[in-house]
Amino acid sequence: MAEKPKPDTDSAAAEEAASKPAGAGKYVMVGFISTLMVIETALFFFLVPSGEEVAALAEARLVQRVQAGEQDAAEQESEENQVQEFDLGSFGETFSPIDADNRYRVEFRLFGLVKQKDVEKLTTEFDAKAGRLRHAIRMKVRNSELSELEENQLGLLQRRILTTCNHLLEDDLLLSVGFNDYQVFQE
C-alpha cells in the first residue's frame, strides 16, 4: 500500500485559519447589518411623528389657512359690498298734476346707491340705456300727484323710480335712489 502523504501541518493550519476568519466575517457582517437595522427602526419610531401627530399638525395648518382665507375673503367682500353713490342725472320737469289746475316745475339731481362690485356693470348699462332710464324717470314724476311730490312724501316716488330703473337694467343693481337739491315750484 502506498502511503498517504501526510498533510503538511502548516498548510492545514493555514487553511483552517483562513476558513475561520471567513466564517467570523460573516458573523461580523450580520451583526453590523442587524445593528444598523435596529438603529434605523429606533430612529423611525422616535423621530418620525405618529399618524395622530401628523393629522393634528395638518389640521392646525388647515385652520390657520382657513382663518387667513376668511379674513382675506371678509376684507375683499367688505370692499365689494361697500355702497357708493352713482349719479343718475339732473332733472327739471314742468307738468300739471292730475289733481291740480296749475303748472308746477320739479328740479332735482337723482343718485342711486350701488355696491362697489357692480359699479362698472351699472356704468356700462347706464351708458347704453340712458335715454330709456331718463324717460322712465320723467314719466314717474309727471304721473305723480302733487301730494306725492312734497318733500316729506318722496318715499313712494323713490320706490317707483327704483323699481322702474331696476326693471330697465339687466339686474337689480341699484339698492335705492335718492334726491339732491330737490325743489318744487308753482309756475
Q: Where are the domains of the chain?
A: 9-78, 83-186
Q: Tens digit of pLDDT for each residue in 91-128?
A: 998 887 766 678 889 999 999 999 998 999 999 999 99
The residue type at 139: M
CATH class (in words) of the domain with range 83-186 = alpha beta
CA dihedral (90, 95, 98, 102) in degrees, to 10, reads 130
Average pLDDT over residues 7-21: 57
What is the reported pLDDT for 11? 60
Q: What is the pLDDT of residue 144?
A: 83
pLDDT at 59: 82
- What's the pLDDT score for residue 114? 93
Q: Is the pLDDT of residue 21 over 80?
A: no
121-177, pLDDT tens digit by residue? 999 999 999 999 999 999 988 888 888 888 777 888 899 999 999 999 888 889 999
pTM for the full predicted model: 0.57
Strand-strand pairing, 174-186 and 104-115: antiparallel
Strand partners, 109: 90, 180
- pLDDT confidence of residue 2: 54
pLDDT above 90: percentage of residues in the chain: 27
Rg (CA), the chain: 47
Per-residue confidence (pLDDT) for residue 24, from 0 to 100: 76
pLDDT category at 20 given cuts 50, 70, 90 is low
Alpha-carbon gap, residue 100 to 119, rounded angstroms: 40
DSSP assignment letter at 1: -
